[in-house]
Structure 1
Amino acid sequence: MPNGNLLFRDRGSTPNSPGSDAIREIDWESDLVWEYRNTDLRRHCRLANGNNLFLCNSDEVIPPELTLRVQGGFSTPSDPERMGGDRVLEVTPDGSTVNEWRSEDQLDPQQHVICPLEGRAAWGGANDISTPDGTFLISFRILDTVAIADRATGKFKWQWGPGQISHQHNPTLLANGNVLLLDNGAHRRGLSSSRVVEVDPANNEIVWQYRGDSLVSFFTHFTGGAERLPNGHTLITEGMAGQLFEVTPSNQIVWEYISPFLARNQHGLNNGVFRAHRYGPDHPALSGRQLDPSRHGNLNRLYGSSL
């Protein structure tokens, strides 16, 4: 954050779940400044007015009659009578909810079809949210759809994706009005591979993309992201491989990093990185901060740095 604080989600007692127990804000000394608890939390944004926008995946909230009308997905005997749905909550600093958006009010059971390789426990599987002015940009992973919704009316102003992308992550609105996202490629027909695409919402045309030199050289089944940098390059997180790399508009890799940090989760021991952001030395959060890497010399030497 501009003041140097860190706003993050803490999985707490559910480390193997995509959701979280809490969103926490800590200061530079790692002291807790603020937190919000909700067991359905998935993503979050801090709004300009100081409120917070939370994306929640809520279980068994869609009425049975609507659940039966939703198309796609595979059925199992344990399917709930009510599908799960997605919620976007606007919450004040004191924890009061001042607005709630429900995905089932805007999704169409005939149009927004669940991937046939996904179950029917939930309709949407929203996995990311960001907040362009007066709207929010949301990603429905198992519907292969990204959409811009008006925060005042709740209605979609733009949506795109089926047949073009597969189980995407991290859509963001660029300064030129285009949308940048990671197209993970999971469950794509044919050889699974990932790419980063920039799409123009005015005509739904892909105006730029990055793929690996060979299709199998860039693939992250889930997690990951893409961020457009001030110099026009794109920072890409290949989540499952724990790899970060920066590419030019002509797709030349000019910097890369592979995380040496291992952790064990439901996928076993791995070096996965959920997402990365780059902050320049002139970022206000870094003003006056102690950034001498020698303070972390032992850690850097242990994990291969020459510092």
Structure 2
Amino acid sequence: MSESVLSGYVLVAPQESTFTYLVDRGGAVVHTWKSDFNAGLTATLTEDGHLFRAGKVANDHYIHGSGGVIEEYDWDGNLVWQYFYNDAEEFQHHDFTVLPNGNVLFIAAEIITADEALALGRDPAKLRDGYLVADKLVEVKPDGLSGGEVVWEWRAIDHIVQDVTPGKGTYGNVAAHPELVDFNYEGRPSFPDGWTHMNSVDYDEDTGQVLVSVRNYNEIWIIDHTTTTAEAAGHTGGDWGHGGDLLYRWGNPEAYRAGTRADRELNGQHDAKWIDDGLPGAGNILVFDNGAERLGGKYSRVLELAVPTAGDGIYYLSSDGTYGPAEASWSYTAQTPTTYYSARMSGAQRLPDGNTLTTVGDAGTLVEVTPEGDTAWVYDADRTVLEGAAPGSETSVFYASWYPEDYAGLAGKALIPQDATLGMLARYATNAVETTLGTSKALMAGSPAALAAFSA
């Protein structure tokens, strides 16, 4: 193993597979779980050794990333909980997180009819399909094998402002209300009816706040989770006093009339998460900026944000009317930027040694980089033998997660590497990421030059 890479294990749920894999740093599978559903997209390993995994129950939902079911498996692969949130009017999608109390907080979509949307002040020209797909957050308390009690909700539609249709309760000065969502802003018009299109959720136990990535607005938002559901629908209440209004937003000041297109920092981003306590950069935010509509060209980068606060959990506008920071405290871009690119999915995780594990989602390739931007580890999901998936099917990965050898959920578990052909390609490199990505793909084709380049 390379001395620049920490030992441990990586959890990967390829998008078009019913299997979830735990692999070691040599690329060998050490454990698997089997579901009846392809990944829907998130998977996480808890401290009791259980796997929580979203499953994709249908292919005909209204937005990309639909799931519909969250499942819990014990270490031996037994299904111990299964919760469906999937019908014609609302459905779970993209991401979830397991809260400290054992509840599950997930992103869901709800269908807003044309009449409802127009009554709230939606521009009729922006209702192309006769409905709107609006996001919400749902917290469910597991109950038995398939039950669940919804104990908290937050709806984006409750926190809007618009200046298109006078006479509506939502009518107002958009620029004067950065705590609200401009109902008629379209940051990504190629996905109009997804409206907000949330794709990640994270929770901070210290502040009781929730961080979400909102792809169609090219922003990340922070919301108060200490509210009741009634308070979350309003503008007062909760520990921070603002109900369900946005406490903080970053990435695109144009979305709240405080900037122009040229001021946009995020472009179709994913996986916004706080860096955990005890890690380098603890308390900062990591986000994978996909860059699909970047003015400077299509390339991806990872950003670390040191969010300015007036005390933990209190955020303020800068003198220019925008939320800081003005720039990232750390970022990663490939030496040739366009060679590190994923139009969708993807993620980033800070590791204890300061390295950052990134997931180039479309390619299904993991690239670990040092603080200096050197490539420490490359891991290619195209190498996986996808049982339950057709040959040549998509091997993209939403995001992968690293766990240390002494992680509580792995204590006492037999982690025996299987045949390497059942794992993924894992190699160590110090060259530029564009070379490692290209070489890993060439290895799949059996290129002699590639094999020589990666010989031990």
TM-score of the superposed pair, with normalisation by structure 1: 0.88
Structure 1 residue 221: deviation in Å? Answer: 0.2
Partners of 2:60 and 2:52 in 1: how far apart? 18
Post-superposition Cα deviations, 1:99-146, rounded to whole Å, max 9, x if no partner, equal: 110012224444642225324313200111011121110111010010
Partners of 1:119 and 1:277 in 2: how far apart? 28
Distance 1:248 1:92, change over 3 A: same
Structure 1 residue 177: deviation in Å? Answer: 2.2
Alignment of 1:44 with 2:118, yes or no, is no
Structure 1 residue 232: deviation in Å? Answer: 1.2
In the other structure, the counterpart of 2:218 is: 144
The gaps in structure 2 that reach 5 residues or longer are: 1-45, 163-173, 175-180, 228-242, 253-263, 309-323, 428-454
SS at match of 2:329: strand
In the other structure, the counterpart of 1:14 is: 59
Structure 1 residue 278: deviation in Å? Answer: 0.6
Contact 2:384 2:421 in 1 (8 A): no
Partners of 2:48 and 2:109 in 1: how far apart? 30
Post-superposition Cα deviations, 1:198-240, rounded to whole Å, max 9, x if no partner, equal: 1122031310000011121100000110001111110000011
In the other structure, the counterpart of 2:120 is: 66
- State the structure with bigger RCO (CA 8 A, min sep 6), 1 or 2: 2
TM-score of the superposed pair, with normalisation by structure 2: 0.60
Partners of 1:107 and 1:274 in 2: how far apart? 29
Alignment of 1:277 with 2:401, yes or no, is yes
Partners of 1:92 and 1:304 in 2: how far apart? 38
In the other structure, the counterpart of 1:181 is: 287
Partners of 2:122 and 2:424 in 1: how far apart? 55
Alignment of 1:261 with 2:315, yes or no, is no
In the other structure, the counterpart of 1:57 is: 109
In the other structure, the counterpart of 1:91 is: 140
Alignment of 1:289 with 2:336, yes or no, is no
Contact 1:67 1:83 in 2 (8 A): no
SS at match of 1:114: coil
Distance 1:157 1:116, change over 3 A: closer
In the other structure, the counterpart of 1:172 is: 273
Which structure 1 residue ranges, 4+ long, deviate > 6 Å from structure 2? Answer: 262-265, 301-306
Partners of 1:303 and 1:227 in 2: how far apart? 20
What one-letter code is carried by the residue in structure 2 that aligns with 1:66? L
Map 1:194-233 → 2, pairs under 5 A: 194-202=300-308, 203-204=324-325, 205-233=327-355
Structure 1 residue 302: deviation in Å? Answer: 9.6
Post-superposition Cα deviations, 1:273-293, rounded to whole Å, max 9, x if no partner, equal: 221111111111111111121
In the other structure, the counterpart of 1:35 is: 82
Contact 2:332 2:373 in 1 (8 A): yes
SS at match of 1:156: coil
Partners of 1:304 and 1:149 in 2: how far apart? 38
Partners of 2:60 and 2:426 in 1: how far apart? 28
Map 1:154-165 → 2, pairs under 5 A: 154-162=244-252, 163-165=264-266
Distance 1:298 1:171, change over 3 A: closer
Give 1:118's match in structure 2, choosing from 171, 182, 190: 190
Contact 2:212 2:220 in 1 (8 A): yes
Contact 2:266 2:289 in 1 (8 A): yes
More off after superposition, 14-23 vs 282-291: 14-23
Distance 1:302 1:210, change over 3 A: closer
Contact 1:262 1:271 in 2 (8 A): no
In the other structure, the counterpart of 1:131 is: 203
Post-superposition Cα deviations, 1:164-206, rounded to whole Å, max 9, x if no partner, equal: 1101000011243211000000122231110000112203131
Alignment root-mean-square deviation, CA = 2.6
More strand by share: 1
Q: How many residues align?
A: 297
Distance 1:262 1:115, change over 3 A: farther
Structure 1 residue 270: deviation in Å? Answer: 3.3
Post-superposition Cα deviations, 1:235-260, rounded to whole Å, max 9, x if no partner, equal: 00001112101111111111111121
Distance 1:119 1:276, change over 3 A: closer
Partners of 1:22 and 1:241 in 2: how far apart? 25
Contact 2:50 2:72 in 1 (8 A): yes
Distance 1:2 1:246, change over 3 A: same
The gaps in structure 1 that reach 5 residues or longer are: none
Contact 1:145 1:159 in 2 (8 A): yes
Post-superposition Cα deviations, 1:255-274, rounded to whole Å, max 9, x if no partner, equal: 11112137799xx8333222
Distance 1:222 1:250, change over 3 A: same
Partners of 2:159 and 2:408 in 1: how far apart? 38
Partners of 1:183 and 1:122 in 2: how far apart? 19
Map 1:241-260 → 2, pairs under 5 A: 241-259=363-381, 260=383
More off after superposition, 61-70 vs 279-288: 61-70
